[in-house]
Structure 1
Amino acid sequence: MRAEFAWMASYYRGSWNALLAIVSVAVAGALLAPAQPHIVRLIFDHAIPEGHTALLVGLALLLLAVRFAGGALSLLSRHLTLTVTRGVTMEIRRAIIAGLYDQPSEFHDFSAPGRLQKRIVHDTEQLENHMQAVLSVGLPALLGAMTLTLMMASMSWQVTGILLVLAPPLWFTTRLSNTFLKRNLKDFQAQFELFNKGIYFVLRHMDLTRIRAFEDGELDRQTGILARLRESGVRMSRGFEIHNQIQNVATSVIAIVLLVSGGIAIQHGMLKVGDFVALYIAAAMLSGQSIRLASVIPDVFMIRDVVDRLRELPQRSAPALRAGSALPAFKGCIELEGVSFRRGSRPILRRVDLTIRPGRHLAIRGANGAGKSTLVQLVLGLLKPSEGRLTADGVPYDELDLAALRRKIGFVPQRPDFFGGTLLENIIYGRPEATTEDVDDALRKAGIDDFVRSLPNGLETLVGEGGVTISGGQGQRLAIAAALVARPRLLVFDEPTNHLDPMAVTAIIDTLRRESADTAVLTISHASALIGSADAVFDLTAGRLTPAEEASA
């Protein structure tokens, strides 16, 4: 529990003043709670027996004012709690998102997006709700129960002592109920996790299931998951009901014992009627506070479980890949010196030496699995080498602001990624400073300006998620335009002939080199026609990079 508390405290560190205000309001409410029984005692011991109508009305109005004050403090506590918890939730989400950006590409290659999404969205929402319950319900209930217990003891320690004798067995019964409740909650959460994964699988792999004619089998599998979720939900609901009934029984036992012991105390002259009524009201209030306090016990359990899951996610406090701050005027020169990369114990690249110079077109060819994509990710600063070093214009990557470097590199992936939005939004994403002239020039160089002009809505044409509304060739050209819009000093193509013929890509590169002679180009491709236009060709085999024969410029 200590680790979970330390994790939460790290995010609440900037909200100590607000937390102090929440505690202060809770203390004020707790000190106000005994006022109601005391006012009732004055009514029964003085105002009514003495026939003092003015005192009776005054005390009644005072009682009403106390109730209003208690309600106002409750609203204030709720407002402060909402402000604090939502602010902390925002910081946790921001830290996790930032932490994900700090991770190397291999982290995301082996992470399920659906699982990460649930953690960031649902778990943080749960944490916020549970913390609100603890701070706005549990804390005032705990302080209120303490002050009411002290008040009852000051009025009649004998009756209070009898009630305290009942506390251990009632506490043990409640603790046993909480144990079963916690078990049911964890089981339901596990089954809900399976349900969430199942729905994600169904939606994500709909075509795969249909192509393999496994609809009935998959439906049976999901039905089994739903059945287990239903059974777990029933057990959890039943556990909550049993827990509530135990609380009700405990409340009834306390009320009956108080009624009998208080009646005996009155018979023996140990209590006045007003004292007994006040004691009874205080006990009823204490019972209510105890029930409220018990109601947040599941929230405490859930906070611990949710924090355990959130702590597994990377956060900005972890070392970032772009830890450097140097920002040279990058001219397009990148050098790899003895660079090796391992994934676990498996070597991917072995002591690679490569120099990319401004105005030069380098091509790398190799079989699938040779390490070409890994090499590209190293150049982009998305991976860190196991050995060796990379430099940009002579500055080591470890000293660079790699995000700033990537802004000067245009990358065209072999499978372009598009989000639901307009053509313009997809092209200038990450480049908000791009002008209309930049966009038009990039479209022209990519050879897709005529296509865009032919569309009824032009650049405002909507693109479906993943680019489903455009062809592969159009998507490839749009990805090239998106890379060119920032006027990069280095342009990297990763298998650009997947959807375009080599001559089309060659024409684009020739245009770029003619109009931007200082731009460096790095191409990863199998197409001989495309490789043939490069200034130098390298072969990547089993992680080793070797020069091929020089190509004619």
Structure 2
Amino acid sequence: MSIPRYTDAPHKNRQDLRNLRHMLPYLWDYRGRVLVALVSLILAKLATVGIPVLLKEIVDTLDVEKGQALVLPIVLFLGYGALRLGSSFFNEMRDAVFARVRYGAMRKLSHQVLQHLHRLSLRFHLERRTGNITRDLERGAQSVSSIMNYMVFNILPTVAEFLLVAVILLSQYEPRFTIVTFLTVAVYIVYTMLVSEWRMHYRHRMNALDSQANGQAVDSLLNYETVKYFNNEQFELHRYHDTLDEWEKAAVKSQTSMSLLNFGQGAIIAIGLTFIMIYAGHGVVNGEMSLGDLVLVNTLMLQMFMPLSFLGIIYRMLKYTLADMDLVLKLLNREEEIRDASDAVPLQVRRGEVRFEQVAFAYSPDRPILRDVTFTIRPGQKVAVVGHSGAGKSTLARLLFRFYDVSAGRVLIDGQDIRQVTQQSLRDAIGIVPQDTVLFNESIFYNIQYARPGASQEEVEQAARMAHIHEFIANLPQGYDTVVGERGLKLSGGEKQRVAIARVILKNPAILVFDEATSSLDSQSEQAILKALHEVAEQHTTLVVAHRLSTIVDADEILVMEAGQILERGTHTTLLARDGLYRQMWRLQQKEEQQAIPPSPLPEA
């Protein structure tokens, strides 16, 4: 089974500096804590570098010639202990103070991304792969914390310590110590950057294949029933296995190349430290340096090279997290297809009249869906739209909700172009019962109350009664607290639709849309629901997208669509009187219903 060819191109277009600048607002929100953390960092490093300096004085004090009295330098030992304690205290202070910054930034970014995802158009959500996005978001949110962690806990402390060591070496010892130190650090950094850049594409490939494998796993679980219907468990497992196999190969290459990088870094540090110790030992032999100076130089180098060895890992991890963060920032930078106009105002629903005025629409330029569609639903009227699949019926509801903008023409509510009003006020005024009802994996009460989160138990139950589902819920062991399962899979299609009907009843909007709302119901339930819907729709402007013509015979007007155009319009009676498409559809459905009725059993002899 073939694996989609991975490309490194998206990462080559990364802008790491811009992404780092994107983090500044998060830091600015906690600028007081950031300042305290930085002060603690500096004090911790001053204490850390002061330890070997004080150790030198202790060694020199104790290094006396034979015959001289040995005096224990109590003050120096106490100072040594105080510096150790201070280093630990200020490091922990920095961590504790900065914790709010790290996790606050994660919270804000996660909230910002989810908010942006809800703002993106239906087109984006129809094309997205849920598993890939959830994994990218998980890594992206973690990347903000990681980058801050690396910068404040690793990179800045290492730079500060390096500068302090450089000052000590330049002020107290020959320039060759400083030259060797600077040269070692420079070679180390250049080597680390070059090799890390060379091996970065292995990490990028790992991320891409990880997201792909996660997406395949989530898709197969979301479509569990479909997988079972077609006995395709092995097909899904093979697909998942092949992707993980490619991921494993990339992971092995990433690890082996990292081992090469680590060995090179260790070699550079070992060579630099060896030269430093040779020079220091030579100085002691020649009487130019004391034994305490040797200890000081050795301790300073060890203190500096230890975090420097971690700096290589930090650099690689920083590059990885920048790659992860880039995915999220590109998502945040994705333009919203449907935006409120700069001068948008709340929709004022006075009568609830809906008008489609010469509307044309296409999902893509080469796929026109609607052409010159004009009709009006007057206040309190019920207008039904029928037609074969692909005629553009459900697209009308999506345009009314402004999930898409029309390509030409206008959609008006009480004379207001819906592109000139806020999306929130528009959708507050409309309620829908969709053909495919998807419920939250929460209780039935939660799913009904979702239409109006502040609704009381009595209001929820009343809506359920009007949707003829209260008795069913009441007979469940846990009643309204019954959890419906992911996407409502524990309920039948008819039960889910009745929950959706109860939900729209609870919302009580001025305009109602029924998108084949009874398609999953049996005939008896359908009649009960139709009666309830008729009662609900009496005082509302109603658009009904229907497949079963028997459900819309009472409509004030029926629009018959074909290939994105309205071919016929009128009441059920007037349309039947014509020898047109509606009459053909009616006869065909009547014939199908008659054939579906089982024959009566023969009387016994």
- Given that residues 338 and 352 in structure 1 are in contact (C-alpha distance below 8 angstroms), is that contact kept between their aligned partners in structure 2? yes
1: CA distance between counterparts of 2:230 and 2:527?
39
5+ long unaligned stretches in structure 1: none
Q: Cα distance 1:496–1:317, how it changes in 2: closer, same or farther (>3 A)?
A: closer
Alignment of 1:95-174 (within 5 A): 95-156=112-173, 157-174=175-192
- Given that residues 152 and 282 in structure 1 are in contact (C-alpha distance below 8 angstroms), is that contact kept between their aligned partners in structure 2? no
The equivalent residue for 1:542 is 563
SS at match of 1:33: helix
The equivalent residue for 1:328 is 348
2: CA distance between counterparts of 1:552 and 1:401?
39
CA apart distance, 1:545: 3.2
- The aligned amino acid for 1:371 is G
More moved, 479-488 vs 176-185: 176-185
For residues 231-253 of structure 1, the C-alpha deviation after alignment (integer angstroms, 9 at most, x for no partner) is 32233233333333333333322
Q: Cα distance 1:535–1:391, how it changes in 2: closer, same or farther (>3 A)?
A: same
CA apart distance, 1:409: 2.0
Q: Cα distance 1:168–1:154, how it changes in 2: closer, same or farther (>3 A)?
A: same
The equivalent residue for 2:41 is 26
2: CA distance between counterparts of 1:349 and 1:10?
45
342, 358, 375: which one aligns with 1:338? 358
1:497 and 2:518 equivalent? yes
How many residue pairs match? The answer is: 552
CA apart distance, 1:525: 0.5
Q: Cα distance 1:299–1:278, how it changes in 2: closer, same or farther (>3 A)?
A: same
1:399 and 2:420 equivalent? yes
SS at match of 1:521: strand
1:44 and 2:62 equivalent? no
For residues 380-435 of structure 1, the C-alpha deviation after alignment (integer angstroms, 9 at most, x for no partner) is 22222222222333333233232233233221010111122221111111411222
Q: Cα distance 1:505–1:104, how it changes in 2: closer, same or farther (>3 A)?
A: farther
2: CA distance between counterparts of 1:320 and 1:541?
27
- The aligned amino acid for 2:151 is V
2: CA distance between counterparts of 1:51 and 1:408?
95
Alignment of 1:204-243 (within 5 A): 204-243=222-261
What is the RMSD computed on CA atoms of the aligned residues?
A: 2.7
CA apart distance, 1:368: 1.4
The equivalent residue for 1:481 is 502
- Given that residues 144 and 289 in structure 1 are in contact (C-alpha distance below 8 angstroms), is that contact kept between their aligned partners in structure 2? no
370, 376, 382: which one aligns with 2:391? 370
Q: Cα distance 1:3–1:166, how it changes in 2: closer, same or farther (>3 A)?
A: closer
Alignment of 1:118-517 (within 5 A): 118-156=135-173, 157-314=175-332, 318=336, 321-322=339-340, 324-329=344-349, 331-345=351-365, 346-501=367-522, 504-505=525-526, 507-514=528-535, 517=538
1: CA distance between counterparts of 2:154 and 2:182?
23
The equivalent residue for 1:59 is 76
1: CA distance between counterparts of 2:321 and 2:57?
44
1:35 and 2:50 equivalent? yes
Question: TM-score, normalising length from structure 1?
Answer: 0.91
The equivalent residue for 2:9 is none
Q: Cα distance 1:51–1:415, how it changes in 2: closer, same or farther (>3 A)?
A: farther
Q: Cα distance 1:316–1:59, how it changes in 2: closer, same or farther (>3 A)?
A: farther
1: CA distance between counterparts of 2:433 and 2:162?
65
CA apart distance, 1:448: 2.0
Question: TM-score, normalising length from structure 2?
Answer: 0.84
5+ long unaligned stretches in structure 2: 1-15, 575-605
- Given that residues 155 and 275 in structure 1 are in contact (C-alpha distance below 8 angstroms), is that contact kept between their aligned partners in structure 2? no
More moved, 16-25 vs 297-306: 16-25
For residues 49-88 of structure 1, the C-alpha deviation after alignment (integer angstroms, 9 at most, x for no partner) is 385645x222122112111111122112222333212211
2: CA distance between counterparts of 1:215 and 1:453?
37
CA apart distance, 1:125: 2.0
Percent identical among aligned pairs is: 24
Q: Cα distance 1:399–1:505, how it changes in 2: closer, same or farther (>3 A)?
A: farther
CA apart distance, 1:481: 0.7
For residues 489-545 of structure 1, the C-alpha deviation after alignment (integer angstroms, 9 at most, x for no partner) is 222110123112577556545445546642122110022211211011112222223
- Given that residues 383 and 556 in structure 2 are in contact (C-alpha distance below 8 angstroms), is that contact kept between their aligned partners in structure 1? yes
For residues 19-52 of structure 1, the C-alpha deviation after alignment (integer angstroms, 9 at most, x for no partner) is 3333333233333332112211211233553856
- Given that residues 446 and 508 in structure 1 are in contact (C-alpha distance below 8 angstroms), is that contact kept between their aligned partners in structure 2? yes
1:70 and 2:101 equivalent? no
- The aligned amino acid for 1:150 is V
Q: Cα distance 1:318–1:154, how it changes in 2: closer, same or farther (>3 A)?
A: farther
For residues 458-491 of structure 1, the C-alpha deviation after alignment (integer angstroms, 9 at most, x for no partner) is 2222312222222222222121111111222222
- Given that residues 120 and 336 in structure 2 are in contact (C-alpha distance below 8 angstroms), is that contact kept between their aligned partners in structure 1? no
For residues 283-333 of structure 1, the C-alpha deviation after alignment (integer angstroms, 9 at most, x for no partner) is 111111312322210122113211221122146985763453414255432
Greater RCO, 1 or 2 (C-alpha within 8 Å, sep 6+): 1
- The aligned amino acid for 2:124 is F
More moved, 427-436 vs 237-246: 237-246
2: CA distance between counterparts of 1:319 and 1:146?
50
Q: Cα distance 1:545–1:28, how it changes in 2: closer, same or farther (>3 A)?
A: farther
